[in-house]
């Protein structure tokens, strides 16, 4: 933590994704009195920080925030046995009835899939498994394995119907990794806000929402973890997310492979190094950051221009910056 009342939170935290849900990492009281707790949940490091003024109630706020993260992890994780997503993924029925909350998020995923021209797609669980990004030993899949995974992927192979029904064609598997963290940040934020909390920040591996106006967020250089590209002007409330090719990657035969997979090719997207999105919700920012990363900077910027209350900063595969006009107002000069 830095000294004084201002914090610097890297927009994305590291390159290693862990898969141990709910593991308690620690409790830290900063020098200036701010209080922080961190846990591994939803496959990433989840950090909640309160100002000293919230100390008397911080215990119940932490409990509520992490309790909501745990609930969402158990509901949406693709890696927990016999949870709703596992049951859906292993179902062979033509029509599957799912929980109302999952159905509602799938409806939103459908909208974003359309906006991003298929770049954002939660139906590529089989492709993710083929690359073994759900393990600590990812690898380049054999062509035959990847081909089969691609045949059992794609938004066109599911259809949402009334009363929480999903028509499932083929052995489609859902993976909400590109939206669940943002969704959880929003949910946890609203819950502890409703309990009376003020002046706090939630950071789930780069999906960030803050309240109080005293927090400062820095955007990390995707090729230098120790360098910030920009510091953003503190504002009352931030809703921001970053997707980068340095969050989870491996190298094989001198080639770098990262976890942001293009649904149309089955291979890692190649057009960007990182995409940072500011939007009306962290859920939306999270999904758009992934979708734009896959679309590429030109189509991504064109999309952002059509959306209300959405701004972005894109670092392309050559390291060049592409920024929406409105993003500039957030940058500290």
Span 39-60, pLDDT tens digits: 999 999 999 999 888 888 899 9
Percentage of the residues of the chain whose pLDDT score is greater than 90: 77
Look at residue 6 in the predicted model and tell me its pLDDT: 29
* Conformation bin of residue 283: beta by default, left when phi > 0, alpha when psi is -120 to 50: alpha
Beta partners for residue 312, in sequence order: 277
Degrees, nearest 5: CA angle 182-184-187: 110
The per-residue DSSP string of 152-194 comes to: T--GGGEEEETTTEEEE-TT-B---TTTHHHHHHHHHHHHHHH
Question: Which domains does the chain carry?
Answer: 84-168 (1.10.3980.10)
Q: Assess whether pLDDT exceeds 90 at residue 3.
A: no
Contacts of 299 (CB under 8 A, 6+ apart): 117, 292
How many angstroms from the chain centroid is the CA of residue 14?
Answer: 14
Confidence grade of residue 32 (pLDDT, cut at 50, 70, 90): low
Span 245-260, pLDDT tens digits: 987 899 999 999 999 9
Q: Assess whether pLDDT exceeds 90 at residue 216.
A: no
What distance in Å separates the CA atoms of residue 100 and residue 246, rounded to the nearest whole number? 34
Nearest to 274 by CA among 231, 311, 244, 249: 244
Helix %, strand %, coil % of the chain (to 5) = 35, 30, 40
What distance in Å separates the CA atoms of residue 311 and residue 304, rounded to the nearest whole number? 6
What distance in Å separates the CA atoms of residue 74 and residue 79, rounded to the nearest whole number? 9
Q: Assess whether pLDDT exceeds 70 at residue 233.
A: yes
Q: Which of 20-29, 107-116, 289-298, 300-309 has the lowest mean pLDDT?
A: 20-29
What distance in Å separates the CA atoms of residue 312 and residue 92, rounded to the nearest whole number? 40
Q: Assess whether pLDDT exceeds 50 at residue 174.
A: yes
Q: Residue length, the chain? A: 333
Residue 331 phi, psi dihedral angles, 5° rounding? -90, 130
């Amino acid at each position: 933590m830095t000294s004084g009342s201002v914090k610097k939170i890297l927009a994305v935290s590291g390159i290693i994704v862990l898969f141990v849900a709910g593991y308690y990492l620690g409790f830290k009281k900063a020098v200036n009195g701010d209080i922080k707790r961190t846990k591994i949940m939803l496959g990433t490091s989840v950090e909640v920080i309160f100002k000293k003024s919230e100390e008397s109630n911080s215990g119940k706020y932490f409990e509520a925030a992490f309790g909501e993260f745990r609930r969402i992890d158990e509901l949406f994780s693709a890696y927990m046995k016999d949870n709703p997503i596992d049951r859906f993924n292993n179902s062979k029925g033509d029509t599957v009835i799912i929980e109302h909350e999952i159905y509602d998020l799938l409806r939103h995923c459908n909208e974003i899939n359309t906006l991003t021209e298929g770049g954002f797609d939660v139906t590529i669980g089989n492709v993710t498994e083929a690359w073994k990004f759900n393990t600590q030993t990812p690898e380049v899949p054999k062509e035959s394995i990847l081909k089969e995974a691609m045949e059992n992927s794609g938004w066109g192979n599911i259809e949402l119907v009334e009363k929480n029904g999903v028509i499932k064609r083929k052995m489609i598997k859902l993976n909400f990794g590109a939206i669940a963290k943002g969704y959880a940040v929003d949910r946890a934020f609203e819950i502890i806000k409703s309990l009376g909390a003020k002046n706090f920040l939630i950071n789930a591996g780069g999906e960030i929402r803050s309240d109080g106006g005293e927090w400062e967020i820095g955007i990390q250089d995707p090729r230098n973890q120790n360098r910030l590209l920009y510091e953003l002007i503190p504002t009352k409330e931030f809703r921001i997310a970053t997707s980068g090719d340095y969050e989870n990657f491996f190298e094989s035969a001198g080639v770098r492979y990262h976890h942001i997979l293009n649904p149309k090719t089955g291979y890692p997207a190649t057009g960007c190094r990182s995409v940072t999105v500011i939007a009306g919700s962290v859920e939306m920012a999270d999904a758009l950051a992934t979708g734009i990363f896959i679309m590429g900077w030109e189509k991504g910027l064109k999309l952002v221009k059509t959306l209300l209350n959405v701004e972005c900063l894109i670092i392309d595969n050559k390291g060049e910056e592409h920024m929406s006009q409105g993003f500039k107002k957030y940058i500290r000069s």
